[in-house]
Amino acid sequence: MKKLAAITLTSMMLLLATAMVVGAVSSVEIRGAVAGTVNGQSNLEGGNAFSWDPQNFAGFFYDIKKDIGTEKLTTTLTEGNKLSGDTPYGVTYTTTAQAKDYEFEDWGSYKVIGFQAEKYFAGYIGSDDAAKDIFFKESTDENSLSSEQLEKILVDDDTEKTVTSGTPLKLEEGYELAIKSIDIDGNKVYIELSKDGAVVDSKVVSPSKDQATMADKTYYYKNPVVGDQKKLVTVGVHFKNAFRGADQNLATIDGVWQISDAPTEVKADTQYDKMTIRTVDATAGVITMDNKDNAITLSKNKDSALMAGVKIKTADNDTLRYYIYKAVTIEGAEPTAAENVASAAAAESAAKENVTVATEAAAVAEENTTKAEAVAAEEKKTEEAAPAAAENKTAEAAPAGEPKTQPGFEGVFALTGLLAVAYLVLGRRE
């Protein structure tokens, strides 16, 4: 019986170890090409320089479909493996805004720019087709770079989906777009946009009326103030159609656009870690940075921040090798199937070892107990032990408390609780 109890306890440990795999935090390091002496040869240009762009550093923004992405970072070594903080600077960075079509292409295009290894909005673009520049026309300060700021692109999607009066469209940064009502003909859809539960805008769109224009089908929100910009469109939703039903109203959307209303400053002399913005050319759409007054010595086994999101790391070796990387942490992400299998296999292997040890220990304990019981039986002269045994059985009937539950693991801990009770009962019977 003790052998069974030991195995039961070990099984509980296995269940708990396996359960801990769920909800693990995933940390990923996206690195660029290795610079320095690689395979016995130096790959530094001119003996001291190396550059990274979207083709050899996946951390930089790049749209493979449209071949868009211009971020470039160059390191230039001086004596003593130093990246000088004086001219010529040891670290330089440049990026340029480019035109990119919206995923919902009937809206036209906008200016996108990679900045510090992130995708940003740089401004709306006008066009000859008035139907395709609705966000440009409706924004007062449509060029973010001219205002020396950028906004992160949160949503750019053309996936078709259905929104009902009871299920609002969930957006980023606390925004929701809800259908309040649809007229009897389905021509007018009354919409409210809220942020953190408070209504910030309301409009009427008419996607189902005859010869509906892009303006009729598009909801847009002109944010009153976004940093230094006034009346900038930060949310856009294209309605394909709308219907009024007997039980609820519904609409089909096939285009969603959203940029952050918390801008990132890109004024000259703004510093991000070791890098400082040197120039901002709104007309050409170019931003340059360097490490002025922030010299970096590339000694072995060193990890240094360059700018927000981008670091540089050296090898733990006397021969200089280094690369830039972007660290990405995904909180609460579920591990991949391979990770689950590997973790579960490791836990199972450890548990099997524990089972073997526990089983062997239980066998020894059982043998010793048997011998002790035999000696005790020979020494018994009376039957006084019977009432005492009855009293012990009565004490054994005391109920065990229910185990506390943990949110997210109810099923696992319920089973663990049953196993724990079984273990206690088996132990008491011994």
pLDDT in tens, 319-373: 999 999 999 987 665 555 444 544 445 445 544 454 444 445 444 445 554 544 5
pLDDT at 131: 75
pLDDT at 380: 53
Residue 133 CB: number of other CB atoms within 10 A? 21
For residue 349, give the 3-state DSSP assignment: helix
Amino acid identity for residue 343 in this structure:
S
Question: Among 245, 193, 239, 181, which Cα is nearest to 214's?
Answer: 239
- Alpha helix stretches (DSSP H) within 20-164: 134-138
Q: What is the pTM for the complete model shown? A: 0.73
pLDDT at 427: 53
Q: Which of 17-31, 42-56, 256-270 has the lowest mean pLDDT?
A: 17-31
Per-residue pLDDT tens over the stretch 298-318: 999 999 999 998 999 999 999
Q: Where are the beta strands (DSSP E) in 271-381?
A: 271-272, 275-281, 286-290, 296-297, 303-307, 310-314, 321-330
In this prediction, residue 130 has a pLDDT band, given cuts at 50, 70 and 90, of confident
Per-residue pLDDT tens over the stretch 378-390: 555 444 444 444 4
Name the DSSP letter for residue 20. T
Name the DSSP letter for residue 427. H
Tell me the C-alpha to C-alpha distance, in Å, between residue 171 and each of 147, 194, 195, 196, 203.
25, 10, 9, 11, 17
Name the DSSP letter for residue 64. T
Average pLDDT, the chain: 82
Tell me the C-alpha to C-alpha distance, in Å, between residue 226 and each of 150, 174, 198, 270, 361.
10, 16, 18, 19, 69
More confident residue, 60 or 20: 60
Per-residue pLDDT tens over the stretch 190-249: 999 999 999 999 999 999 999 999 999 999 999 999 999 999 999 999 999 999 888 889
- Could you tell me if 310 and 325 are in contact, meaning their C-beta atoms sit under 8 angstroms apart? yes
CA distance 426 to 430: 7
CA distance 289 to 277: 4
- Could you tell me if 212 and 196 are in contact, meaning their C-beta atoms sit under 8 angstroms apart? no
pLDDT at 402: 44
Question: Among 168, 157, 161, which Cα is nearest to 241's?
Answer: 161
Listed by start position, the domains of the chain span 2-23+335-429
pLDDT at 349: 52
pLDDT at 80 over 80: yes
CA distance 233 to 216: 16
The pLDDT of 260-289, averaged and rounded, is 98
Determine the straight-line distance between the first and last CA of the chain, rounded to whole angstroms.
Answer: 7
pLDDT at 25: 63
For residue 119, give the 3-state DSSP assignment: strand
pLDDT at 143 over 70: yes
- Could you tell me if 157 and 255 are in contact, meaning their C-beta atoms sit under 8 angstroms apart? yes
Question: Among 86, 82, 54, which Cα is nearest to 67's?
Answer: 54
Q: Which of 3-7, 152-156, 237-241, 397-401 has the lowest mean pLDDT?
A: 397-401
On the question of a cis peptide bond just before residue 88, with omega within 30 degrees of 0, the verdict is: yes
